[in-house]
Amino acid sequence: MKKATIQLESLACPSCVLKIENAMKSLKGVDKESVKVLFNSSKAKFDFDEEEVSLKEAEDAITALGYEVKKAQAKDK
Amino acid sequence: MQRFILSKKNQITLIGGILIIIGFASELIYKNEIIALWSLAIASVLGLAPIAIQAYQALKVKVVSIEVLVTIAVVGAFLIRNLEESAIVTFLFLFGAYLEQRTLNKTRSAIKELTEMAPESALKLMENGEFEEVEVDEVDVGDVLLVKTGAKIPVDGTVLTGEGYINEASITGESLPLSKEKGLGVYAGTILENGTLQIVAERVGEDTTFGKIIELVEEAQDSKSEAERFINKFSKYYTPAVLVLAIVVWLFSRDIELAITILVLGCPGALVIGVPVSNVAGIGNGAQHGVLLKGSEVIHDFSRVDTMVFDKTGTLTIGNPKVADKRMYGGNTDEVLAYLVSVEKESDHPLAKAVIEYIGETKTYIVEKTDVVKGGGIVAYVEGHRVAVGNVALMEEEQVHLNEQAHEDIKKLEANGNSLVLTSVDGELKVLMGIRDRVRPGVKEDLQKLKKLGVKNLVVLSGDNQGTVDLVASELGLTEAHGHMLPENKAAYVEDLIAKGQVVAFIGDGVNDSPSLAIAQIGIAMGSGTDVAIETSDVVLMNSDFSRLPHALGLTKATANNMRQNIFIAVGVVLFLLASVFFSEWMNMSIGMLVHEGSILVVILNGMRLLRYKLKY
């Protein structure tokens, strides 16, 4: 399992948080319990299994929603 | 295509605004209906595009967002050929979102300033013996780094070579530069003002003290209070409910105009943003004043505190006690003092340090069978003699006879506010020492401020004798003072207060008092070890600075108030709008959207006031 931290463009609407959260949860290999989108610091944090999903795929899912990804990193847990 | 439209949102808003002006101008001034119609139609479609895309994306992940309501309303208005409404509503919605983003960034600025102080690069010693600039993420524990004048220290570590002056304000709040040389610790995020250092990395990234502070603040600003969780749950069902309401109204009244107006008026705008805005601004203000608040639950609890319980030594007092008085009983003075020092060296109690410091150079002996009596002192064997060092209770336990003279001395020293250390050798009292600790400068004024802020009970609990504690209490104007308290007694006392319905904050050192810190609704750890303080406290005072406590309390009160005001504004606006659509003639979609966007800006601006909050006294 790896722990991802994705820095997004600054989020303005609380419903964006819900959207991104649901989008991350719908990815296979992402631990649903761990998904946390921080509204004020505009960050998405979650744990994922790198054999099932890559950080790149998660980034793409967010950009597909129309939010810019500024920085993404994953660390071993 | 979708992404392109979304990224050009600001330009679309601008064009929409211009088109609306052209539309109205040609209709009212030039009476040219065709141009008016077309420009408003284009403004509507153009402005709707980004909103509709976001609505579609939200629906895809099963969220009925505000955009969904607005999209349906605008499409409805368009279909019934009310182009003025559709154009103005889309424009106001987009323009409102733009202003929202701008002002929101302001409320977040305080915390952003903090996180931007995080170091980004480091000069790392490579295998070829040269220093090379790398990203701070690439530094591992054990790497040797070079720091030049003006640069940020990239990690927590120890100075290997060189010397310099470091400004540690980002960690401690103290801006006076500190001299650092070989062997001394340096902290990530602090600034080398002068000199050149080579340091070895000990903790990197999120493990550094600065990393922990940032993580704490970032998590705190997004933590949700009970009330906020309720609002979020509420709005999850609220937006679909508005949709249903609009459909029902349409079914019964067959009035599309009314139905789509309800869609716009029902938007929960200010409600969902009001509380987070107060939260982030309050926490941001704290971060700039050396007060870290661990989330909105803490803000809520701390603002309601009516009882503050303090540990004495190291919290109210400086924690560096000195021997002020000494009485000897019986002869063989040097030998007894040497025994005393030998035993005290086994202890790291602050009073033991004071005793050793006071006696100074002396012979020492090997100490055997050391037994630490909790809340009493130490019993050990030196040169075959049983030596007991501790308080009066320990002497009684050891069945040491205290003669009249000793009793009188004890009374006198206690009344003067001394902590007592008695020494017996083979059951006979030999030495009595009175040790005193000074109260921290400024504590008295700070406590007064806390009282003015509405704290009713200021209590001091201490393991010291009652005389000492009473003296401190009367000197500082505390309401209650209890001595002879072991850590578990303190915790039980706090539990008792809570059971009586009081909201208790406990302020003490993070090691001995951890049970009380955990039990109290708000625990605040003092102590120079910033790590312990950060982990155990609900409210972290940077550099354990007592004088920040009144600001912390005042700030949480102001923030909690601010949240209530915002909830009130938001709920009031929605109720007002919904009422006026049914009971008044003048309400329409555009005015509704205008009031909505206005209320969102009002709650954000209201939240921003917290950034400038300052204690009045």
Close Cβ partners of B536 (under 8 Å, ≥ 6 residues apart)? B510, B514, B517, B518, B523, B525
pLDDT of residue B552: 93
Per-residue pLDDT 10s for chain A (77 aa) are: 888 889 888 777 667 788 888 888 888 888 888 888 888 788 898 999 888 888 888 888 888 877 888 888 887 76
Count the residues in chain B: 617
Q: Which of B156, B301, B311, B545 is catalytic?
A: B311
CA trace torsion B236, B242, B243, B248 (10° rounding) = 140
Helices (H), B345-385: 350-359
| pTM confidence score | 0.75
| Closest in B63, B221, B232 to A40, CB measured | B221
Contacts of B218 in chain A (CB under 8 A): 38, 40-41, 43
Amino acid in the structure at residue B14: L
Contacts of A6 in chain B (CB under 8 A): none
Question: For A13, which residue in chain B has the nearest alpha carbon?
Answer: B273
pLDDT of residue B370: 80
The domain made up of A2-76 has a fold known as Alpha-Beta Plaits (3.30.70)
The answer to whether the Cβ–Cβ distance between A18 and B65 falls below 8 Å is yes
Query: In this structure, is residue B418 part of a structural domain?
Result: yes
Query: In this structure, is residue B529 part of a structural domain?
Result: no
CA trace torsion B278, B280, B285, B287 (10° rounding) = 150
Question: Of B302, B280, B259, which is closest to residue B108 (Cα–Cα)?
Answer: B280
Mean pLDDT of the residues in chain B: 83
Residues B303-324: pLDDT tens digits?
Answer: 999 999 998 877 888 777 788 8
Query: In this structure, is residue B398 part of a structural domain?
Result: yes
Residues B259-271: pLDDT tens digits?
Answer: 888 888 877 767 7
Distance CA B87, CA B84 (A): 5
Q: How many domains does chain B have?
A: 1
| Closest in A15, A26, A39 to B65, CB measured | A15
At B558, the pLDDT band (50, 70, 90 cuts) reads very high
**3-class secondary structure, A77:** coil
Q: How far is B593 from chain A, CA to nearest CA, in Å?
A: 16
Question: For B67, which residue in chain A has the nearest alpha carbon?
Answer: A15
B480 DSSP assignment: E
The answer to whether the Cβ–Cβ distance between B58 and A15 falls below 8 Å is yes
Question: Of B310, B331, B387, which is closest to residue B355 (Cα–Cα)?
Answer: B387
3-state secondary structure B487-520: HHHHHHHHHHHHHCCCCEEEEEECCCCHHHHHHC
Residues B26-45: pLDDT tens digits?
Answer: 877 777 778 888 888 899 99
Best mutation target, A8, A11, A15, to test chain B (most B CBs within 10 A): A15
pLDDT winner (highest mean) among B63-67, B160-164, B383-387, B549-553:
B549-553
Best mutation target, B7, B62, B63, B136, to test chain A (most A CBs within 10 A): B63
The answer to whether the Cβ–Cβ distance between A41 and B218 falls below 8 Å is yes
The answer to whether the Cβ–Cβ distance between A41 and B221 falls below 8 Å is yes
Query: In this structure, is residue B374 part of a structural domain?
Result: yes
- Residue B311 annotated in active site: yes
Query: In this structure, is residue B152 part of a structural domain?
Result: no
pLDDT of residue B124: 87
Query: In this structure, is residue B423 part of a structural domain?
Result: yes
The answer to whether the Cβ–Cβ distance between A18 and B63 falls below 8 Å is yes
| Closest in A22, A41, A73 to B63, CB measured | A22
Which ipTM value was assigned to this complex? Answer: 0.75
Question: For A22, which residue in chain B has the nearest alpha carbon?
Answer: B61
The answer to whether the Cβ–Cβ distance between B65 and A12 falls below 8 Å is no
Distance CA B276, CA B281 (A): 9
Q: Which residues of B touch A (CB under 8 A)?
A: 2-3, 6-7, 53-54, 57-58, 61-63, 65-67, 97, 100-101, 104-105, 108, 111, 115, 137, 218-219, 221-222, 232, 235-236, 272-273, 276, 279-280
The CATH number that applies at residue B391 is: 3.40.1110.10
The answer to whether the Cβ–Cβ distance between A14 and B100 falls below 8 Å is no
Query: In this structure, is residue B425 part of a structural domain?
Result: yes
Residue with tokens 């009175």: B434
Put residue B226 in one of left, alpha, beta given phi > 0 → left and psi -120 to 50 → alpha.
alpha
The answer to whether the Cβ–Cβ distance between A10 and B101 falls below 8 Å is yes
Domain with B349, as residue range(s), is: 322-436
Question: For A75, which residue in chain B has the nearest alpha carbon?
Answer: B137
Contacts of A23 in chain B (CB under 8 A): 61
The answer to whether the Cβ–Cβ distance between B61 and A66 falls below 8 Å is no
Please state the domain extents for chain A.
Answer: 2-76
Q: How far is B171 from chain A, CA to nearest CA, in Å?
A: 20
The answer to whether the Cβ–Cβ distance between A19 and B63 falls below 8 Å is yes
Q: Longest Cα pair distance anywhere in chain B, in angstroms?
A: 116
3-state helix, strand, coil in chain B (%, to 5): 55, 20, 25
Question: For B112, which residue in chain A has the nearest alpha carbon?
Answer: A41
The answer to whether the Cβ–Cβ distance between A13 and B97 falls below 8 Å is yes
pLDDT of residue B505: 93
Residues B46-83: pLDDT tens digits?
Answer: 889 888 888 888 887 777 778 888 898 889 888 888 88
